[in-house]
Amino acid sequence: MDLSQFPRRRYTEFATPIEFLPNFTKALGGPKIWIKRDDMLGLAPGGNKTRKLEFLVGDALAKGADTLITCGAPQSNHCRITLSAALKEGLQCHFVIEERIPNSYSETASGNHFLFRLMGVNSITVVPAGTNMNDAMQAVADQLKAQGRAPYLIPGGGSNAIGGLGYVACAQELQQQLFEQAIRIDHLIVGSGSSGTHGGIVAGFVGNNIQIPITGIGVSRDPQDQEPLVYKEACAIAELLGGHFIIPRDKIVSIGGYWQPKYSIPNEKMVEAVQLLARTEGILLDPVYTGKIMAGLIDLSRKGHFKAGEHLLFLHTGGAPSLNAYESVLLSEASNEPTST
């Protein structure tokens, strides 16, 4: 697949590392765990949205935009990385923040919200849960157009066909790394939320004939609601690439149950997962996304869904800045030793 036909900005000048996790693997006592460090991608301070923004910002600049508008939750990693990209390109940046949990937005919050203020976001518009976010962003865009600006709207999570090209590029990068390093992987574990990362990596695997099964761990929905979104996203990416390959519906596999009670609300399995990886490998997960995804990997491994001796690759999509906003939760029941089985 030729990605050179699409405008692209490059924010990471290297392939993100693939690392084996020996201590975590020993503590888990099941499959062998590897990690792809997309938390080390460029833009402050890294994460999966960087790959999407390479293509989204490339498209925005090609269309003459001088302003980026995007949306997310109060601790949105996507908003933070979009702001970082805007600053690098000399663009204005405006957010529409959905207060998904009543009274969860605070102008003095730490974590990502602190970084919004530190990096100087141009404006934040807060709307209640259930708001049509595209309409809310368009309202901001209309105001800015009246002021003579040229805004470009980026959907939540950067999840559309253009943004999904970032994870087609990741699939190609991963394929080359596995070949060069002679690493065998039996399953890829990804987060499944706004669907851009999951849908993009599926499209990339299918289009490049990579036969590694992909399992998505839902961070906001269970499979009956999540999988249609991922399938739609993967098909849209395939169509954008010329429609030369078809996405089989059975390539879309997600597992739910690890994100409850609600999106961004902590649970015990997430706390254990964050503690365990931090205390065995010194690698930080976040409470909203990667902590719950890793909680799924841990629980499924313990239940025998993933077998001892299999090689699992965990796609680390970043998010560590939000840890500070959950400090009391992550340390409230902390033990001095990592959990093991």
> Is residue 310 one of the residues assigned to a domain?
yes
Residues 165 and 97 occupy one common structural domain: no
pLDDT-wise least confident of 39-48, 176-185, 211-220, 233-242: 39-48
Q: Which amino acid is at 332?
A: S
Q: What is the CATH number of the domain that holds 152?
A: 3.40.50.1100
- CA dist 290 and 130 (Å) reads 24
Q: Would you please indicate which residues are annotated as catalytic (active-site) residues?
A: 76
> Is residue 340 one of the residues assigned to a domain?
no
Domain count, the chain: 2
Q: What pLDDT, on the 0 to 100 scale, is given for residue 45?
A: 83
Of 110, 138, 120, 124, the residue nearest 84 (C-alpha): 120
Residues 172 and 300 occupy one common structural domain: yes
Residues 145 and 176 occupy one common structural domain: no
Contacts of 130 (CB under 8 A, 6+ apart): none
**CA-based R_g, the chain, Å:** 19
- Compute the mean pLDDT over every residue in the chain, rounded to the nearest whole number: 95
Residues 154 and 240 occupy one common structural domain: no
pLDDT digits (tens, 9 = 90+) for 71-126: 999 999 999 999 999 999 999 999 999 998 888 899 899 999 999 999 999 999 99
Residues 174 and 321 occupy one common structural domain: yes
Work out the percent of the chain whose per-residue pLDDT is above 90: 92
Of 60, 63, 39, 59, the residue nearest 50 (C-alpha): 39
Is cis: bond before 155, omega within 30 of 0?
Answer: no
pTM, rounded to two decimals: 0.94
Pair 238, 206: CB distance under 8 Å? yes
Residues 113 and 220 occupy one common structural domain: no
* Segments forming the whole domain that contains residue 186: 3-47+160-332
Decide if pLDDT at 334 tops 80.
Answer: no
> Is residue 339 one of the residues assigned to a domain?
no
Decide if pLDDT at 336 tops 70.
Answer: no
pLDDT digits (tens, 9 = 90+) for 275-331: 999 999 999 999 999 999 999 999 999 999 999 999 999 999 999 999 988 999 999
Residues 114 and 125 occupy one common structural domain: yes
Residues 285 and 311 occupy one common structural domain: yes
Residues 191 and 308 occupy one common structural domain: yes
Residues 209 and 124 occupy one common structural domain: no
Q: What pLDDT, on the 0 to 100 scale, is given for residue 44?
A: 81
